[in-house]
Amino acid sequence: MSLLLREFCVYLMFENLQEKLQRAFKNLRGQGTLTPENIQEAMKEIRMALLEADVNFKVVKELIDHIQEKAVGQEVMTALSPAQQVVKIVHDELVEILGRDTAKLRFGTPPTVVLMAGLQGSGKTTTTGKLAAWLKKGGHRPMLVSVDVYRPAARQQLKVVADAIKANIYEGKVEQADTPTVERLAKEARKEAMNTGCDVLIVDTAGRLHIDDDLMSEMQSLKKLLNPQEILFVADAMTGQDAVRSADDFHKKLSITGVVLTKMDGDARGGAALSIRNVTGQPIKFIGIGEKYDALEPFHPDRIVGRILGMGDVMTLIEHAQEKIDSKKAEEFAKKALAGDGFSLEDFRDQLRQVKKLGSLQSIIKMLPSIGPFSGMQKAADKVDDSQLARVEAIINSMTQKERLHHEIINGSRRKRIARGSGTTVQEVNQLLRQYAQMRKMFKDMGKASFGRKLAGMKFPGI
């Protein structure tokens, strides 16, 4: 993909907080260094952004202190605006906390035991299924067992999941809903895994409150019994301030080895990730991103940072685009659009076709930042109609090549013909031509003015 497009996305990603910070810093011009006084307003903005993302307020306080410490004393550079400087510090700090690398699953002498733990409704059973599917894809032979003898139909649920992904499951018999039954099931399942040559045993447990002493001690005895390599704390990405409490309690009582953050396909900003990581020190290993059993991904810290700061999941969009978009064409388009004569309707149609490869407009918009210049778009996403794209393409298809290359020759009678040919109206043709002219101008201006300058000053690590 074109470097330019990539940089543009990065630029968008940090624009919102940066804009706010720019306002906060407007009085800074002419001052030599960042001081606790002159960055106070900016720290307030960062604090608000983090709190709105559900990062725990104590964690926010710590973070702000840290960020302030790093920022104060830095010289105000001319190339980088102070706002950009601070955003970079915030970004780096958050990535640092979340850990730079994707964490891996640990394996021991077979069967490796993975114990799933978490509050009710966090998504343990679904995640158990997804994890098994992921392991199977990697050549493992997982066995599943549900020791949730309490919730109605919980064990049936895992059975249905296991059947769907064609994984082995130990069902066992349950006569009484109590801890001895839970322990017996776990022991039997491990034996079964060994006998059937399964190398990983995933134990789905009942959801429980961290303050439920009886159920927490049941968890402890399960741990003692199974000696698991991994104890994964499954947490809902929508969790608010309480994430710290529950994660801390689970960690204190069980020493968790990792976290799975579920329901990341929603629009929660996911500040809980920072809180949980900060309080437990354990890595987030996976994120759940959908209801299908393949919707589990390794966790990438730098991506969620943008999301927490309200900057959208632009990295995922970039990756997506890299896979699907013809990079040579994109680069050519960017060159044309930003300089010289601008892009033609023919180029525009090319771009439309490329965009269609990325999926529905809705899904693209959803990956954009939800605040700042895009605040309206998220809402509009549900109303966007992909058939509009098809109509636009039909209009351009009905033009002659000459018309596509020289839009200025399209007069009244040509418009009428194009409308008839594409099954649209003259108004729609007019609208398209108007929008095209505006876009052309916008890109040309961007090529000339501030955008290029802004890009020149932006350098982010790891991008």
Partner 1 sequence: MIQTLFGTPEPTFLEKMKQAVTRTRENLSEKIDQVVAFTKEIDRNTLDDLEAILISADLGTSTTEQILSKLREKADRKQIKDVAELKRLIKEQILEILNSTPPRAGRPAKGEPEVVMVVGVNGTGKTTTIGKLAHALRSEGKTVLLCAADTFRAAAIEQLEIWGSRTGVEVIKTKPGGDPAAVLFDSLNAAKSRHTDSVIVDTAGRLHTKANLMAELEKMKRTAQRIIPGSPHEVLLVMDATTGQNGLQQARQFTESAGVTGIVLTKLDGTAKGGVVVAISRDLGLPVRYVGVGEKVGDLLPFNAQNFVDSLFSAE
Residues that bind partner 1 (CB under 8 A): 48, 51-54, 56-58, 119-123, 125-126, 150-154, 156-161, 164, 209-211, 236, 238-243, 245-246, 263, 265-269, 271-272, 291, 362, 366, 381-382
Q: 69-81 b/e with 16+ CB inside 10 Å = b?
A: eebeebebeeebb
Give the span between the Cα atoms of 18 and 20, in whole angstroms.
5
Closest to partner 1 by CB, 209 vs 405, is 209
Least CB distance to partner 1 at residue 274 (A) = 12
Give whichever of 157 and 278 is closer to partner 1, judged by the CB atom: 157
3-class DSSP state of 448: helix
**Rounded (10°) CA dihedral 126, 127, 133, 139:** -160
Q: Which residues make beta-bridge pairs with 200?
A: 112, 142
- CB 122 → partner 1: shortest distance, Å? 6
Shortest separation between residue 288's beta carbon and partner 1, angstroms = 10
Q: Do the beta carbons of residue 295 and residue 309 sit within 8 Å?
A: no
List the 258-262 sheet strands across, edge first.
Answer: 168-170, 142-146, 200-204, 112-117, 230-236, 258-262, 284-288, 296-298
Specify the 3-state DSSP secondary structure of 237. Answer: coil
Nearer to partner 1, 95 or 268 (CB): 268
Name which of 368 and 418 has its Cβ closer to partner 1.
Answer: 368
Q: In the complex, what is the shortest distance from the CB of residue 357 to partner 1, in angstroms, rounded to a whole number? A: 20
Provide, rounded to whole angstroms, the least separation between the CB of residue 51 and partner 1.
5
Task: Provide the minimum distance between the beta carbon of 367 and partner 1 in the complex, in angstroms, as a whole number.
Answer: 11
Do β-strands 200-204 and 258-262 pair in parallel, antiparallel, or remain unpaired? Answer: unpaired
Query: Which is nearer to partner 1, 267 or 332 (by Cβ)?
Result: 267
Task: Report whether 419 contacts 425 (CB < 8 A).
Answer: yes
- Given the complex with partner 1, which of 43 and 419 has the nearer CB atom? 43
